[in-house]
Amino acid sequence: MQVKATKVLAKELNKRIGKYNIECVKMTERQYRNYVDIDFWSHENDYNCVDNTYSVIVVEYPSNYYACNNYLTTNDLLRVFRKLQDKTLDNFARAIFNEIEI
């Protein structure tokens, strides 16, 4: 299974988790630095050289949670995936849910 911040993975996570709105968005370099990675040292996995954008998965919490959006980079997804013993999509979705749960 390829683990990368893509629309397909965001759609699958949204289908399996369902509690939060999960989508993949493209950002400019400035947006990526401001919202996602202040240090900006490990961005190579999220960068698309064709249109000079960065892809991240955004987790939007319901308004009654009073929580800011959570941004998942490819490196965050890989860190969760590497910890799994059984590397299936269902187990990966469960592990991501444990990471983003408030």
Query: pLDDT tens digits for the chain (102 residues)?
Result: 678 888 999 999 999 998 899 999 999 988 888 888 766 566 677 888 889 899 999 999 988 888 888 899 988 899 999 999 999 999 999 999 999 987
Q: How many domains in the chain?
A: 1
Domain that holds residue 64: 7-100
Assess if residue 63 is contained within a domain: yes
| Distance separating alpha carbons of residues 38 and 35, to the nearest angstrom | 8
Sole residue written with tokens 């947006």: 31
Sole residue written with tokens 């408030």: 102
Assess if residue 2 is contained within a domain: no
Assess if residue 13 is contained within a domain: yes
